[in-house]
Structure formats: C-alpha cells, structure tokens
Amino acid sequence: MLKLFKKIPALFGSVVRYIRENPFDRRYMRGFDWPIFLTVCALIAFGIISIYSATSIPVEEEINSVTEMMEYQPIATARLQLIWAIGGMVALFFMIYFDYGVFGRLSNIIYWANIFLLLFVLFTTRGRGNMAGWFSWGSGRTFQPSEIGKIAIIISLSKMFADRKEPIKTVRDLIPLMIYFMLPLILILAQPDVGTALVYVAIFAGLLFVSGTNWKLLAGMVCILMLMMVPLWYIMNATDSFRLERIMVFLNPESDPNGAGMNAINSRIAVGSAGLWGKGLFADGSFAALNYIPEDHTDFIFAITCETFGFVGAMIMVGLFAFLLIRMLILARRSRDMFGNYLIVGIMSMMLFHVVENIGMILGLLPITGIPLPFVSYGGSNMLTNMAGIGLVLNVAMRSKVQLRKRNEYKEAKL
C-alpha cells in the first residue's frame, strides 16, 4: 500500500502527460447520450425547486404572487445546490475526457486511495449516532469520502469482474472478490454508516448478478445474510440504540409521534395531503414552510416534492428516474467491452438502490436510513458522486458508439 502512495506524484505527472499526448477527440461527442444528460438536468431542476420550497419560511404579510413571495424567501441553500450542480457538471465532463479504460488501468490505485480515506475518516470527530464519516472544512462545510468511494468501488470491482475469463461457479472463485469487497465495507460499518454500506452491498450484488454467477451460490449468500440478521439484531439491541430506534420507528411510527417517529409520520401526511397537483411553492400551512419535517431538504426531499407538485409531479419525477435506469441498461448492453458493461451496471445498481430506498422510506415501505435521492436531495458529496457516475456512463456510451460506427464503416468498405 505504501508503494502505491509513493507513486502518486508520478501518477499526476502521467495524467498531465496523457492530456497533452491524447487531446479529446471531438468525434466522440457524436455518441454523447443526450437523453440521459437531459434527464439528469431535469432531475437537478426538480431538486433545486424542491429544496427552495423545503427551506421556505411562513410569511405573515398578504402576498398575491409567487414573484413577490420569492423576495421574502431564503435562497442560500437552493443557490448552493446549484453551485454543487455546476461542480457536478465539471466532474461529469472530467470523467468523459479520459477513455474509461484508463480508470481500469488505475483501478488498484483508486481502490487503495479509497481505503486510505475511509480509514483516515475514522479518526475525525463523531456526530449524530456516534458516526464519523465526514471531513470538515471551511465554515461548516463537510466532505464524505464514503460517497466518492462508491465510484471507486464500482471501478475496482468492475475491473476485477472484467478480468475474469469465466463466471463465478464455486466458493473458491468467490473468496478473493469477497475479501476485496469486504475491506472497504468493514471500514464503512466502523463509522458506522449502515445506509452507505447497504449501497455498497447493492453495487456488489448487481455486479454478481450480471456476471453470470452460479445462482445456487447467490441463493446461499442470501440465506447466510438472512441468518446473520438474528445475531445482528441482538448486537444492535445491546450496543446501537440509535439504529435500533430507526427500525422500531419503521415498524410502529406512532410509538413516538413527537420524537423519532415525527419524520416518518409527517412525511406521509405531506405526501397524502398534496392532492393531484400539489399545494405549489410557498403554500400557507405547508409542511415545508412550517418545518414539520426536520430533514426535508436532504433525506426527506421527496415528501416536499410531492407536497409542492402533487401526485402528477411525483409521477413525473419517478418516470424520469425509471427512464434514466432503463436507458442505462440499454447502454450497458451496447458497451464495447465487459469493463464498460460492468461500469454502467454498477452505477445503475447504486442509483436504483438510492431511489427505491429513499422513496420507500418516505412512503413507510422501508426503514429510515440516511440515503439521499440522487440529483434531488441537497448535498455536495452526493451530487458530485452521482454526476461523476453519469460521466462514466456517458463515457462508455460515447466510445462504444463511435467504435461500433468505425467497425460498421470498416465492414462496408471491405464489402
């Protein structure tokens, strides 16, 4: 590991040299997947408006227009989210610039750099739930390495799966991959950040599934995980009252309606009270303005989206996510190699879990976790991670499409 960090200066020199010797080929932009890019832009716009609504405050004066109301509402959080979105665009085009094969060749360095950050963050100050998962900088600004680590683990695992000559058929084949995967997972659980750990598990499960792993082996892993739930429950009952409380609130939110169950209850009321078209921005008596959902601009943003835009707006947002995920699946099938295929599947697995878990917890179908809604929830680390992930997807799609066109032109010329 130390040898890898000694190579970091040489790595930066190699990056600069690569950029000079390999200028971006504009022909790749012919393969740029505009449907995915525009869908992401629409979700970001949804998110900024929802955050603006979530951070609104009640206004006592009589105001008849939305334009006048906007003069009284705080815009700092929504504006900062817009800045993060612009930063995310930079991350997206950075990921597009390099051939994704470069990330594969650097996968070992990326993996160990991620391990170092996850290990180092354990020594930072712990916050709510005795959790240490952020580096603090500036005036209250934070950076969460486990978020960026999602991209690192996708690249690393995708390279490992792509290098295999045949699917995983035995436990012996699975053990090296499990060790490789478990090291960052254990460091995340040590924070402890169960929500992010579940995202890592979802990524690994998605890659295992599409790699053609023996289904009996997959079934055995599921059974082992289910059996592990029993001792885990007793461990949480003895040592982790914060997360145990979240599970109990999921099972019965009314047991503590003014405390731990308040978010779960009020988010469902906000969704149910919105009607077909919603209450609109800055509506009198809205849960957003009255701050009845404390985490409404982050983890519970979907409740505010439903309250603001109603059932129609919520279905449009869900439709955008569905289109994004299906489009990724299509692009994965068209990738020029298995590494590109696994990269897209890894990103898709990550976002699918985020969307299902976030919306599920708002509707009371799944336990409450700190899982944000991609492109919609407020947060810089999450925005940068998701935009970098979309950059990888576009990278694979662009180069695969151009290479396919070249191959077809060569065949036509040969005929």
Which 3 state secondary structure label does DSSP give 141? strand
Cα distances (angstroms) measured from residue 99 to each of 113, 284, 288: 20, 51, 44
The CA distance from 99 to 104, in Å, is 9
Residue 350 and residue 58 in contact, taking contact as beta carbons nearer than 8 Å: no
Q: Which of 46, 42, 49 is nearest to 281 (CA)?
A: 49
State CA 197 to chain mean position distance.
Answer: 12
Q: Classify residue 255 by its DSSP letter.
A: G
> Which residue type, as a one-letter code, is found at position 176?
P
**Cβ-count burial 94-120 (b if 16+ within 10 Å, e if not):** ebbebbbbebbebbebbbbbbbebbee
pTM: 0.85
**Cβ-count burial 45-76 (b if 16+ within 10 Å, e if not):** ebbbbbbbbbbbeeeeeeeeeeeebeeebeee
Q: pLDDT tens track of the chain, all 415 residues?
A: 555 555 556 666 666 666 666 666 677 777 788 999 999 999 999 999 988 888 877 665 666 565 666 666 778 888 899 999 999 999 999 899 888 888 998 889 899 989 988 888 887 766 555 566 666 665 566 778 888 889 999 999 999 999 888 888 888 888 888 889 989 988 888 887 888 888 999 999 999 888 888 788 888 877 877 777 666 655 555 555 556 666 666 666 666 666 666 777 777 888 887 788 888 776 766 666 666 777 778 888 898 888 888 899 999 999 999 999 999 999 999 888 899 999 999 999 999 999 999 999 888 888 887 789 999 999 888 899 999 999 999 999 988 877 666 555 545 555 5
User: Given the DSSP bridges, would you call strands 135-137 and 141-143 parallel, antiparallel or unpaired?
Assistant: antiparallel
Q: Which of 394, 377, 369, 392 is nearest to 84 (CA)?
A: 377
pLDDT of residue 152: 93
Q: Which of 378, 328, 331 is nearest to 349 (CA)?
A: 328
CA angle centred on 190, ends 123 and 262, rounded to 5°:
105
10 Å Cβ neighbour count for 353? 20
